[in-house]
Amino acid sequence: MMNVLVLGSGGREHALAWSIAKSPQVGDLFIAPGNGGTVQCGRNVPLDPCDAEAVIGFSKDQGIGLVVIGPEAPLVAGVADAVRAAGIPVFGPNADAARLEGSKSFSKEFMIRHGLPTARYRACDCEADALAFVRETGAPIVVKADGLAAGKGVVVADDLEEAEEAVHDCFAGAFGTAGSSVVIEECLVGPECSMLAFITDGEAVCMPCAQDHKRAFDGDRGPNTGGMGAYSPVPAVDDALETRMADIMRTAAAATKEEFGAGYRGVLYGGFMLTEEGPKLLEFNARFGDPETQAVLARFDGDVLDAFLAVAEGRAGDVRPSWSDKVSVCVVLASGGYPGSYEKGKVILGIEEAEEMDGVLVFQAGTSYNADDELITSGGRVLNVVALADSFEEARELAYEACDKINFEGKQMRFDIAKRAIEV
C-alpha cells in the first residue's frame, strides 16, 4: 500500500484525490490543504503547498510514496524540485519547466523555437511600448499579463479602447507582479479546445480532448474566469484533427527534454484554437486544467495511481491510460459576482441529493465548514457538477438537473455548457 499526498485545494484537486482514492494500491491519502469535499477521499492537512520544507517534512513523517502537485504556484516555486531532490517521487515538472506556464513570454519563445504553431505576438515590459503596439496592430487583439493570474489575466479586446484599458490595468498592478510585463497577440478565430498529456522525460501520452468555457456568461460573454464548465470528448475534433493536436503535443514533449532534461514528469496542458489553418497553440499550462480535469478524469478507466507513479518514476512505457466511451459534462457553480468581488460564508445545501443521482459526481472547490459544521462557500468557483452519460443530450440534462438540487445564496452558473457539443 502506498501513502499519497495531493497538494492543492480546488475542484481539480478533489477530482485528483477522488481518482487516486479508487486505487486498490493507495493506503493513506492526504490533501494539503484540501477543501470541504476532499475529506470524503482522505485527510485534509493544514500545509502550505508552496512550502517545500513543510511538504518534505510531512512526507517523510507519513511515509509518502508519491506527491501529486495540483496547482501551478507550487510548481513555479520549485516544490517539485525540492521534493524530488529529497528522494520522494513527485508528479509535477521542475520550476524551470514550469516557466512554460509561469511566463507567457517564455512560453511563446519556446513555441517559436520549436516550430509549434501559435499566434503572432509581441512581449512588452513597459506600458508605452505596449500601447504603441496595440495602436499599430488594431483590434481585435489579445492582451495577456505575462505571469500567473489564476486564469483571469487575459483580455480579448474587441476595440482599441478595451485593449488600451487592459494594458493600463496590467501595468497599474491589477494582477500584481504578473502584470509587470505583457504579451500582446493577434486574435485567432475559431473554437477553443484543450488537450492534456502525460509527459515523462520527453515522451507524451495524450488524453482525450476537452472544451472549457472561460467567459463568465452564456454565449461566451463577460470577463474571463478560471473556467465555468467543460466537456469531454469534443465532437468538433475528428480523428484527423486530434492526430494533428497530438503531434503538436508530442513535439512539445520532446522539446521539454531538449530544454529541461529529465525535469518534466507530470502533465502538460495545451490550449488550442481550432483555426481554418489548423490547430494553433494559445497557451501551455504545466499542470492539469481546471475544470477540464474534472471532465476528463471522470472518464478514466483503470488505476490512475499506476499512471501517476509511472510518470513520477520516469517509466514512460508503463503509462497506459484507458478511457470510458461515456461522455462527460462539468458545470461550475460559482459565487454571485465571480470573477469580480463576491461574498463568502453562504451555506450550501443539496449536494447529497445531487450525488444520489446515477452518473453524477460533485467535486468541491471553494468550500469549507463553519463553526456549526455547515458546508459553506469560501471561494469564487464553489462546486463542479459532473455528469456521465451515453450522449451529450443526456449528460447535459443530468448535469443541470443535479445543479438544480444544489442551492446557496448567490449561486451563479452558465446554462450553455456543452451546448455546442450537441450542435456539431
| pLDDT tens track for 325-368 | 999 999 999 999 999 999 999 999 999 999 999 999 999 999 99
Tell me if residue 301 falls in helix, strand or coil.
Answer: strand
Model pLDDT for residues 253-303, shown as the tens digit of each residue = 999 999 998 779 999 999 999 999 999 999 999 999 999 999 999 999 999
Q: Which amino acid is at 391?
A: S
Return the number of other C-beta atoms located less than 10 Å from residue 243's C-beta.
12
Return the number of other C-beta atoms located less than 10 Å from residue 305's C-beta.
23
- What pLDDT score does 127 carry? 87
**Share above pLDDT 90 across residues of the chain, in percent, rounded to a whole number:** 83
First CA to last CA across the chain, in angstroms?
45
Q: Which amino acid is at 20?
A: I
Does 307 have pLDDT greater than 80? Answer: yes
Q: Which three cell numbers stand for residue 108?
A: 511563446
- What pLDDT score does 263 carry? 79
Does 169 have pLDDT greater than 90? Answer: no
Q: Which three cell numbers stand for residue 34?
A: 484540501
**Burial annotation 204-240 (CB, 10 A radius, 16+ → b, else e):** bbbbbbbbbbbbbeeebeeebbbbbbbbbbbbbbeee
| Residue of 81, 87, 43, 80 whose CA lies nearest to 65 | 87
Locate all alpha helices (DSSP H) within 146-194, ordered by sequence: 160-171
Phi, psi of 53 (to 5 degrees): -65, -40
CA count, 13 A, side-chain hemisphere, 346: 23
Q: Which three cell numbers stand for residue 94?
A: 521542475
DSSP 207: P
Q: Which domains does the chain have, with CATH numbers?
A: 2-94 (3.40.50.20), 126-180 (3.30.1490.20)
Cα gap 210→290, rounded to integer Å: 11
Average pLDDT (157-182) is: 85
Cis peptide before 89 (omega within 30 of 0): no
Helices (H) and strands (E) in the chain, counts: 14, 24
Instruction: Please list the helix, strand and coil fractions of the chain in percent, rounded to the nearest 5, in that order.
Output: 35, 30, 35
Cα gap 19→41, rounded to integer Å: 9
Whether 54 and 47 have beta carbons less than 8 Å apart is answered as yes
| Residues 6 or more apart in contact with residue 296 via CB below 8 angstroms | 196, 207, 208, 210, 232, 328
* Mean pLDDT taken over the chain: 95
Tell me if residue 96 falls in helix, strand or coil.
Answer: helix
